[in-house]
Amino acid sequence: MEQLPYIDEHSTIVTADRAHTWAALLRTTCKNPDDLSTLPRGFTLDEADPPNRLATTGRHAFSRYALVFTLTEESPTRTRLTAESRGEFPGLHGRIYRALVIGTGGHRLVVRNMLHRISAAAA
């Protein structure tokens, strides 16, 4: 995976082991959890290391981006789920897009909501 500039990172503790958290991650992010190519529109699979790491990438006219989920065992029944965002936003349109998506806090809300949904799905 190409290293894009760091944007932010958000974590939550999931009250489930890594295997159950991984399954919840796939159920929440993929249309078909058995097929990692069914990620949401705009994202493609970059790397999968079950049940430790899921890395996705994407691009469009105003940015190139990556969203990486890392699952770390905190205890046998608790998993730290981290979502790290990276991206670059070239040119004037990219800077405007970044201001709208990142600068407004919308990205942070979407990622935190996603982590909450994954956590709830693992319970």
- Structure confidence by residue, pLDDT tens digits, 71-113: 999 999 999 999 999 999 999 999 999 999 999 999 999 999 9
Residues 6 or more apart whose CB falls under 8 angstroms from that of 9 comprise: 82, 83, 84, 85
- Residue 1: what pLDDT? 52
Q: Which pLDDT tens digit goes with each residue over 25-70?
A: 999 999 999 999 999 999 999 999 999 999 999 999 999 999 999 9
- Sign, CA torsion 20/21/22/23: positive
**Model pTM?**
0.94
Distance of CA 123 to the CA centre of its chain: 19
**pLDDT over threshold 90, residue 19:** yes
Please report, for residues 23, 84, 95, the alpha-carbon distance to residue 20 in angstroms, rounded to integers and kept in the order given. Answer: 5, 20, 39
Question: What are the residues whose beta carbons fall under 8 Å from the beta carbon of 3, sequence distance 6 or more?
Answer: 86
